[in-house]
Amino acid sequence: TLLLTTQRALALGGLAFHERIIGGQECPEDEHPWLVQLYNFEEPYCAGTLLNSDWIITAAHCYLQDEIRVKLGVHNQDVPRGDEAWRVSVGTFCYPDSASTTSSTCADHKDDIMLIKLNSSVTYNKHISPLSLPDYASPVGTYCTVMGWGSITTNTYPNVPHCVSIKMLKNHFCQDAYPWWSMTDNMFCAGFLEGEKDSCRGDSGGPLVCDGQLQGIVSLGGYPCGEPLQPGIYTKVYSYLQWIQNILDPVANSPDRSKLD
């Protein structure tokens, strides 16, 4: 697939889609109700974030041509809690798709952000509720939490999501680490220059949460993960805020809204 081909090409260059948490601990069980798992048939392959009862946000490189299965309200993959929910995708939108688009640009994943429309609304409960979009861009130096079910050592994948606190860095640290990659203002760099704490394989598409808001989406980083001077690259959600709002509620965000009132 395009995703696997791209992953291999990036890995050869020392850059890979990030799919695991390094140096973290198990997330508190009741403190990630927005965190969802994306499935390709029966296999979880990416994470995502619940934005409202009908929409998930994740990375564009998590795009599948077939429907994406979404599991909400999960903590331990082997221990059902009784209030989980399953949904499937009925639409995928990637920047700069519009709400009325008929041909998704997600296969290109030039901008690593994707919105998934669910086949039916989910009901909120203790373990299923949305995360707020950002109302500002967190500054360099902010400590944020990244989370996911990705592997926690080179070959170990946990049944529960792990969380780790990392620091937002100046973009030049990622540009210096990956000179063949073009950092833009729609991305940001986060981690620790000494390494040891990082996201990595299996966490792709998951949230980076700063002060209770979704600031980043797990995108790319060095491989092996958690190496010194190889912080992670995250999609900067704030850069896409207007686009997200236009997709989620195209009528309310229409420039012709005044004509409808």
pLDDT tens, position by position, 100-115: 877 778 877 679 999 9
Residue 169 has pLDDT above 60, yes or no: yes
Write down the catalytic residue from 18, 32, 61, 75. Answer: 61
Average pLDDT, the chain: 83
Contact 169, 231 (CB under 8 A): yes
Question: Which one-letter DSSP state was computed for residue 175?
Answer: H
Reading the block at residue 39, the tokens are 């499935």
Tell me, what's the pLDDT at 9?
A: 38
Active site residue 204: yes
Tell me, what's the pLDDT at 24?
A: 76
Q: Is the pTM of this model over 0.75?
A: yes
Q: 57 falls in which pLDDT band (50, 70, 90)?
A: very high
Reading the block at residue 150, the tokens are 């990705």
Give domain limits for the chain.
Answer: 143-238
Write down the catalytic residue from 89, 199, 204, 239. Answer: 204
Q: Where are the beta strands (DSSP E) in the chain?
A: 15-17, 21-22, 25-26, 35-40, 43-52, 55-58, 69-72, 85-94, 114-118, 143-148, 162-169, 187-191, 198-199, 207-210, 213-222, 232-236
Q: Please state, as a whole number, how many other Cβ atoms lie within 10 Å of the Cβ of residue 156.
A: 8
Superfamily for the 143-238 domain? Trypsin-like serine proteases (2.40.10.10)
What value does the mean pLDDT take over residues 159-180? Answer: 91
Q: Return d(Cα 60, Cα 219) in angstroms, integer.
A: 9
Write down the catalytic residue from 97, 111, 112, 198. Answer: 112
Tell me, what's the pLDDT at 259?
A: 44
